[in-house]
Structure 1
Amino acid sequence: MGDNLDQPLVLRSDLDHVATLTLNRPAARNALSEPMLDALAARLDEVDADPTVHVVVLTGAGPAFCAGHDLREVRSNEEPEFRERLFARCSNVMMQLTRLRRPVIAQVAGVATAAGCQLVASCDLAVAGESSRFATPGVNIGLFCSTPMVALTRTVAPKHALEMLLTGDMIDATEAHRIGLINRVVPDPRLADATAELARTIASKSPMTVALGKAAYWKQRDLPLADAYAHTSRVMVDNLATNDAAEGIGAFLDKRSPTWIGS
């Protein structure tokens, strides 16, 4: 399915220190073609290097959030080298989301399936409209969702992840919330506003502290318990030495609003 060459594959808009990135292949249900992955990676680098951006929102244009990989592209390129490159690109984008200094919130309307579900699971937070749906349906077409499994099993409990992977069944937003794939379910007309409210809340915090905390979260979660405590203890000591920690503690004790310095 062709793309609109007059429009970027990933749009960006900024408001109140929040950068919204919109996957922009609505006719293809925002499928993650190789050009789309490259465009998303470039946009993520762009916002991470922009000091005015404190939070990133990721959403999709049209009726779907993201339907996963572009199967037409995959079928038309049978060379193993292309397919290895494609899945490596996709994996790198998913890891890029976790390594980004800014928190990333998925704003999900419509379906998020296969690598699209992986995209939701790879974001730090997710807000979904009540009509949204989620699935890892690769098993239905003989192509197990092996790479989406990585993000899914690090987000929801093993048995919930395996049920999604083994059945390929679609789940609704209420069930996605129950198993921990998303943070909030809101009425569809409220989706953009609810996501913006969450983004603004986080954007009001010290961006340096949020970046430090996000990095510490992703680092410690895969460490053994003692190593996780050792790492986060070092982070706490380093955090206490920052200007924003001094300002925040002082503001709390003085009963005033903090003025973040950013260092």
Structure 2
Amino acid sequence: MSELMSELLQRVDAKGVATLTLSRGSSYNSLSIALMETLISELDLIDNDMSVRTVVIKGAGKGFCAGHDLKEMLDSGEESFYSCTFNTCSKMMQRIVSLSVPVIAQVHGVATAAGCQLVASCDLAYAAESARFGTPGVNIGLFCSTPMVALSRAVSQKHSMELLLTGRLISAARAEQMGLINQVVPDDELDLRVTDIAILVASKSRKALSIGKTAFYLQREQPLKEAYETCSQVMTENIMTEDAIEGIDAFITKRTPIWKHR
């Protein structure tokens, strides 16, 4: 097990899973520029760490993430600072999507505005029954336009617009119905459920996970014919990897595969 500890972010590695904990609990883990830059840097390190096959993002304190640090932004009052904040956030969300291993959001408390965007950007998401989600920017005259990018790609148009236009918070059960999260879990079972899922995903070939995740986001934006052409080529390349050859042989001979992650 390895650990990284800082005032902004904590990282603990175990069983192929890197758990990243946002550590600004006193401000509901609001996304200051420093926190976002720290998370991006850690994801860059993870991308080159072959011992990591799954990432979990969670929040310290009473909630997952309440969005941008509005106090930091108002204290600045500079357009250049606002631009830097939103551009850094966009870079962070894209880094999660482009990461070579799956990312799981573990949500408790609130996930609002850019915090909801963070959930929508992750590959999987599990939430406590008491969790709440929303994009309430419209309530303060600041429409959640950047959160809209991830949200509109994670759930349907009507559901996205409901959240964006009303600014209301929704329950974890409603978020599950919308497809924003995978599953609602009793509060006291959230840690165990996410750990089980993370370890299960981490037990797979890192090479296969990377190939599959990259192809998923690529084909999703393509027309049907082009998507099939892309994924046919991807599968052809995939089946020629060492792990695919090992996995197929293990399946035929009824044994557990030994991954080399290449």
TM-score range, shorter chain: over 0.9
Partner AA of 1:85 in structure 2 = C
Q: Which segment is superposed worse, 139-148 or 40-49?
A: 40-49
CA distance in 1, matches of 2:51, 2:242: 19
User: How many residues are aligned here?
Assistant: 258
CA distance in 2, matches of 1:102, 1:10: 19
TM-score by length of 2: 0.97
Which residue is 1:179 aligned to?
178
Q: Please say if 1:81 is aligned against 2:85.
A: no
Which residue is 1:165 aligned to?
164
Q: Which segment is superposed worse, 79-88 or 25-34?
A: 79-88
CA distance in 2, matches of 1:44, 1:124: 14
Q: How does 1:17-36 map to 2 (within 5 A)?
A: 17-36=16-35
Would you say the 8 A contact 1:22–1:58 is kept in 2?
yes
Would you say the 8 A contact 1:60–1:108 is kept in 2?
yes
> How far is 1:63 from its partner?
0.4
Which residue is 1:119 aligned to?
118
Would you say the 8 A contact 1:10–1:43 is kept in 2?
no
Which residue is 1:258 aligned to?
257
Which residue is 1:68 aligned to?
67
Q: How does 1:72-111 map to 2 (within 5 A)?
A: 72-111=71-110
Which residue is 2:208 aligned to?
209
CA distance in 2, matches of 1:101, 1:71: 31
CA distance in 2, matches of 1:230, 1:121: 27
Partner AA of 2:157 in structure 1 = P
CA-based RMSD: 0.9
Q: How does 1:118-137 map to 2 (within 5 A)?
A: 118-137=117-136
* 1:51-70 C-alpha deviation (Å, 9 max, x unpaired): 11010000000001000000
Q: Which segment is superposed worse, 100-109 or 78-87?
A: 78-87
Q: How does 1:217-228 map to 2 (within 5 A)?
A: 217-228=216-227
Partner AA of 1:166 in structure 2 = L
CA distance in 2, matches of 1:126, 1:206: 21
User: Matched residue of 2:154: which SS?
Assistant: coil
Which residue is 1:3 aligned to?
none
Q: Which segment is superposed worse, 76-85 or 130-139?
A: 76-85
CA distance in 1, matches of 2:23, 2:80: 27
CA distance in 2, matches of 1:8, 1:43: 14
Partner AA of 1:133 in structure 2 = R
Q: Please say if 1:246 is aligned against 2:245.
A: yes
Would you say the 8 A contact 2:135–2:167 is kept in 1?
yes
Would you say the 8 A contact 2:7–2:24 is kept in 1?
no
Residue segments in structure 1 that go unaligned for 5+ positions in a row: 1-5
> How far is 1:130 from its partner?
0.6
> How far is 1:7 from its partner?
3.9
Partner AA of 1:19 in structure 2 = A
Partner AA of 1:168 in structure 2 = G
Would you say the 8 A contact 1:30–1:61 is kept in 2?
yes
CA distance in 2, matches of 1:223, 1:76: 42
> How far is 1:8 from its partner?
2.7
Would you say the 8 A contact 1:31–1:67 is kept in 2?
yes
Residue segments in structure 2 that go unaligned for 5+ positions in a row: none
TM-score by length of 1: 0.96
> How far is 1:225 from its partner?
1.1
Identity level (%): 52
Q: Which segment is superposed worse, 117-126 or 249-258?
A: 249-258
Would you say the 8 A contact 1:125–1:182 is kept in 2?
yes
CA distance in 2, matches of 1:112, 1:188: 15
Which residue is 1:200 aligned to?
199
> How far is 1:44 from its partner?
1.0
Q: Which segment is superposed worse, 219-228 or 96-105?
A: 219-228
Which residue is 2:8 aligned to?
9
* 1:54-105 C-alpha deviation (Å, 9 max, x unpaired): 1000000000100000010111122211111111100000000000001000
Which residue is 2:52 aligned to?
53
Which residue is 1:150 aligned to?
149
Would you say the 8 A contact 1:22–1:59 is kept in 2?
yes
> How far is 1:164 from its partner?
0.4
